[in-house]
Amino acid sequence: MIKRCYLTGEFVFYATARAKRPHSFHKPQEKSVPKQYCPFCVENVAMTPGVIYATENDEIRIIPNKYPFLDKDEIDFGVHDVLVDTKEHEERMSDFSDERMYKLMQVIKMRFAELESDKRIKYVQVFKNQGREAGASQSHSHWQITALNVVPLKMEHLIGVLRNYYYEHNRKCYFCSMEFGERVVEENDHFVSYLPADGKFAYGMDILPKRHISTLDDFTEEELKAFGVILRNSVKRLVTLLDGISYNVCLYSAPISGDNEEHFHFYAQIIPRIGHMAGFEFSTGCYINSVLPEEGAKALRQVEIP
């Protein structure tokens, strides 16, 4: 079966004949680097270029990336932060408490707003790489926040698709109109976690606020709390089902300017790193997904979480 991803235009081949059982995806996260070499452990603070922000007890810290890909000069301005979300070297986000997740979301929202307030910044991307397969060079749990003076092509394209949908459907938002069917993994009062009908990643989930909000800035305290819980739970389901698999989390929030409030709907994406992009994907821009969304959702739903 071939589907075309509505948001990206990419073709996805659902190769269910190649369907694998979850255990055959086995690709656990690597062993942690020893604590004494970890720049994200509080006692090794001298290994990092300073602290931008820290909560009480240093539970969550924002530090400048030691190897930023962005300059701080006036022409190509950008910021590249690391947000260390736990003091514990081995602790993973999937085991954080509700309170920690709430605090984490508050800190992300705060830093997001701070970076956006710089006139030179056009777009802020928040993401998490967990595990080597997901691109994390440090095993200690952390996020990255990049503030760019350009709007990336992917975001520009997404905005165009959502804007067109909005005007072609009598001013209805694409995400607000979405029906989830059998693809829901979990929901609470404010959010739903589900597998997109045209998703290109096996077991890949999106998390959507039920209220139409276009940016992280508009999250209420209640929504921050609820988002933290559903994000933690969704990741917990994934790493339980796929035995500690590496994953990425990406938060998509409307760019600062451009009047995107009506058609852009904030969402988060969880990407399990089951297979690598290889020649086929690079050359064609097409993807192969061996798990149907309904089947993936069912398996994730059935995982018992504490």
263 binds Zn ion (CB under 5 A): no
- Closest CB 128 distance from Zn ion, rounded Å: 16
Which phi and psi angles does 151 have, rounded to 5°? -95, 120
Q: At what angle do helices 221-241 and 293-301 cross, to 10 degrees?
A: 100
Question: Taking a C-beta distance cutoff of 8 angstroms, is the pair 42, 33 a contact?
Answer: no
- Please count the residues of this chain forming the interface with Zn ion, following the rule CB under 5 A: 10
Residue choice 176, 197, 250, 288 for contact with Zn ion (CB under 5 A)? 176
Q: Which stretch binds Zn ion (CB under 5 A): 20-28, 87-95, 286-294, 295-303?
A: 87-95
Query: Where does this chain touch Zn ion (CB under 5 A) — which range of 5-13, 21-29, 136-144, 145-153?
Result: 136-144
Selected binder of Zn ion within 61, 80, 89, 237 (CB under 5 A): 89
175 binds Zn ion (CB under 5 A): yes
Tokens of 201: 């990643």
Residue partners of 16: CB distance under 8 A and separation at least 6: 1, 290, 291, 292
For the bound state, the minimum distance from the C-beta of residue 298 to Zn ion, rounded and expressed in Å, comes to 26
Q: Does 142 bind Zn ion (CB under 5 A)?
A: no
Tell whether residue 173 is a contact of Zn ion (CB under 5 A): yes
Contact pattern from residue 21 through residue 60 relative to Zn ion, giving x for each residue in contact according to CB under 5 A and a dash for the rest: -----------------x-xx-------------------
Q: Which is nearer to Zn ion, 255 or 296 (CB)?
A: 255
Query: Nearer Cβ to Zn ion, position 177 or 257?
Result: 177
Asked if residue 265 binds Zn ion (CB under 5 A), the reply is yes
Helices 221-241 and 98-116 meet at what angle, rounded to 10? 120
Toward Zn ion, which CB reaches closer, 45 or 250?
45
Is residue 102 involved in binding Zn ion (CB under 5 A)? no
Site for Zn ion in 201-260 (CB under 5 A): 212
How near is the Cβ of 75 to Zn ion at its closest, in Å?
35
Least Å from the CB of residue 29 to Zn ion = 14
Phi, psi of 3 (to 5 degrees): -125, 155
- Count CA atoms closer than 13 A to 35's CA, side-chain side: 8
* Chain residues that interact with Zn ion, rule: CB under 5 A: 38, 40-41, 89, 140, 173, 175-176, 212, 265
